[in-house]
Chains A and B, each alone.
Chain A
């Protein structure tokens, strides 16, 4: 009790359970995986965990074209989907913001996709893009636009489009809801002043609304860049990296090498590359956020 009442120890005691959990579930396993990325660790031969081979896994990875394809595809995937989600989310937030009656209901409907498990979204869109029974092909048939079924998930480019569509559907809401929160907090005075001065709606948006929204945009970007790796579930279900590796992302490749080929050491080396990439994205958006906030404080 004397420890608990000491004001010095209190914050550490309060944080102790959280620290223990993170150490046990994140830090220690990551330490193990860092070590194993320097070994030829293979699930079928446990003793290999104790053979140190230095940077060999990383060197082999760097020479592996499959890895670089997956890496590049992941960057493209993240960039394209994040930007699309931002633009669509902004559009949606602006639209909903203009509706006065029943806005609360609209906001609830808007969050609908956020409640779906990514794996469920994967199955849903696998079903929707199915060439025989899928919603998309059925609609195109009924509208008379196609005569042959389009093999959405079988052809490389189309499969990438399908996968990105699913990701955008799943996550646009996150942007929309955060940006709507920003729009609701938007101060009225500068907008009215601008209108009195004869600014058109486009100018008001460009010079007042958008700068004000910037911190909200970067928060959404930071949050989303944290969990784009959720896309693993979806891609795993929709195409599992196929056809012929054309939709392979870092995460699906990693799981394949680790669990199917049992090459844990190699997979963990890849894991480290992808973790560092994730952290870079997050840090980048976080710094933009801090800058945007500082700019806003300067204005106010």
Chain B
């Protein structure tokens, strides 16, 4: 496509480059600002005139949130938040991908009664805003006794992620020609073997992107977690961020350090698999 624009003049090319640079700067700056703040001593955070580049970078904010500074009585239960976040996100992602893959396969490969209706029902379940769901879930979960447990939250994230996973994997399985597994079945494989040997490996990049989306959704979710968790037994990192706010003030340095703890795993994971992510968005869903 760009070949057909080879006639652009140099000044046009520079204009595009400057535009792209500015756009990228705007996209990165807010995040970068918070990351820089995480490494600033408190004096610099509140300095006036502002200190743009940290002059005296420090890890004190990170020690601080874990309660490791010498003059500190005790820190916040950040370690528990990290643990809860990991357990809840990883478990719900793994199970959501498994259940979603089964569903996606059913939609892609079988014709059955009520297919269209079920598909729409799954999608509509996704339109319910988290806050609207948190009120009834709160009532119900407290009656069953799974309020403030990791299990309660895992179950909720499962329900949020399954419809999207079904949608993505359905798209991927449909791209794989049905003849492939039929040929394998003629050669003596069972349907189950044909699935594992042929269709599963081909759909892997779709499953990877579904997994990333599910993980990021549960890792970053706040509205439901903030109502369904109460203590260190199940509070996740996004909810833990609220610990840094008092009624009128915010502990910006502590908050920023915690923010880095949340951002870094998400960023690292996404960059590692970004090729799958883009493929997942463009092929699985769109076509």
- A interface bracket (residues with beta carbon within 8 Å of B): 35 or more
Q: Would you call B31 and A124 a contact (CB within 8 A)?
A: yes
A244 an interface residue at 8 Å Cβ cutoff? no
Q: Would you call A112 and B27 a contact (CB within 8 A)?
A: yes
Q: Of the 9-residue stretches B68-76, B127-135, B203-211, which lies at the interface with chain A?
A: B127-135
Main secondary structure of the interface of A (DSSP, over half): helix
Once the chains are docked, how many angstroms separate the CA of A207 from the CA of B25? Answer: 32
Chain B contacts with A in 103-125, Cβ cutoff 8 A: 103, 105-107, 109-110, 112, 115, 118, 121-125
Q: Would you call A282 and B4 a contact (CB within 8 A)?
A: no
Residues of A within 8 A of B1 (CB): 97, 183-184, 186, 188, 191
- The residue in A98, A142, A223 that gathers the most chain B C-beta atoms within 10 A of its C-beta is A98
With both beta carbons as reference points, the residue of chain B lying nearest to A110 in the complex is identified as B27
Residues of B within 8 A of A92 (CB): 23
Once the chains are docked, how many angstroms separate the CA of A143 from the CA of B155? Answer: 51
A52 an interface residue at 8 Å Cβ cutoff? no
Q: Would you call A119 and B241 a contact (CB within 8 A)?
A: yes
0 or 1 for each of B251-282: is its CB under 8 Å from A? (1 = yes): 01001100100110011001100100110011
Once the chains are docked, how many angstroms separate the CA of A278 from the CA of B31? Answer: 29
Q: Would you call B105 and A279 a contact (CB within 8 A)?
A: no
Chain B contacts with A in 127-146, Cβ cutoff 8 A: 127-137, 139-140
With both beta carbons as reference points, the residue of chain A lying nearest to B255 in the complex is identified as A123
Q: Would you call B30 and A233 a contact (CB within 8 A)?
A: no
Residues of B within 8 A of A181 (CB): 278, 281-282, 286
Once the chains are docked, how many angstroms separate the CA of A106 from the CA of B28? Answer: 12
Once the chains are docked, how many angstroms separate the CA of A92 from the CA of B162? Answer: 31
Once the chains are docked, how many angstroms separate the CA of A18 from the CA of B31? Answer: 36
0 or 1 for each of A99-128: is its CB under 8 Å from B? (1 = yes): 110000011111111111111110111111
Q: Would you call A216 and B286 a contact (CB within 8 A)?
A: yes
A267 an interface residue at 8 Å Cβ cutoff? yes
Known: A15-B103, A120-B263, A133-B46. A30 touches B131 (CB 8 A): no
Q: Would you call A98 and B5 a contact (CB within 8 A)?
A: yes
Once the chains are docked, how many angstroms separate the CA of A125 from the CA of B34? Answer: 10
Once the chains are docked, how many angstroms separate the CA of A8 from the CA of B110? Answer: 9
- B interface bracket (residues with beta carbon within 8 Å of A): 35 or more
Q: Would you call A123 and B31 a contact (CB within 8 A)?
A: no
**Smallest CB separation, A277 vs chain B (Å):** 9
With both beta carbons as reference points, the residue of chain B lying nearest to A195 in the complex is identified as B4
Q: Would you call A33 and B136 a contact (CB within 8 A)?
A: yes
Q: Of the 9-residue stretches A64-72, A79-87, A251-259, which lies at the interface with chain B?
A: A251-259
**Smallest CB separation, A280 vs chain B (Å):** 10
Once the chains are docked, how many angstroms separate the CA of A8 from the CA of B125? Answer: 26
Known: A17-B99, A127-B252. A22 touches B132 (CB 8 A): no
**Smallest CB separation, B192 vs chain A (Å):** 9
Q: Would you call A96 and B155 a contact (CB within 8 A)?
A: no
Residues of A within 8 A of B270 (CB): 111, 115
**Smallest CB separation, B171 vs chain A (Å):** 12
**Smallest CB separation, B250 vs chain A (Å):** 7
Once the chains are docked, how many angstroms separate the CA of A8 from the CA of B113? Answer: 10
On B, residues with C-beta under 8 Å from A are 1-2, 4-5, 16-17, 19-20, 23-24, 26-31, 33-34, 37, 45-46, 48-50, 99-100, 102-103, 105-107, 109-110, 112, 115, 118, 121-137, 139-140, 155-156, 158-159, 162-163, 166, 216, 219-223, 227, 238, 241, 250, 252, 255-256, 259, 262-263, 266-267, 270-271, 274, 277-278, 281-282, 285-286
Give 18 new A-B contacts, CB below 8 A, not counting A142-B49, A177-B278, A278-B127: A11-B110, A21-B162, A25-B155, A26-B159, A99-B16, A99-B17, A111-B270, A112-B27, A116-B266, A126-B250, A141-B49, A191-B4, A192-B4, A219-B286, A226-B127, A236-B223, A259-B135, A278-B129
On A, residues with C-beta under 8 Å from B are 7-8, 10-12, 14-15, 17-19, 21-22, 24-30, 32-33, 36, 49, 91-92, 95-100, 106-121, 123-128, 132-133, 135, 138, 141-142, 169, 172-173, 177-178, 181-186, 188, 191-192, 195, 215-216, 219, 223, 226, 229-230, 232-233, 236, 251, 254-255, 258-259, 264, 267-268, 271-272, 274-275, 278-279, 282
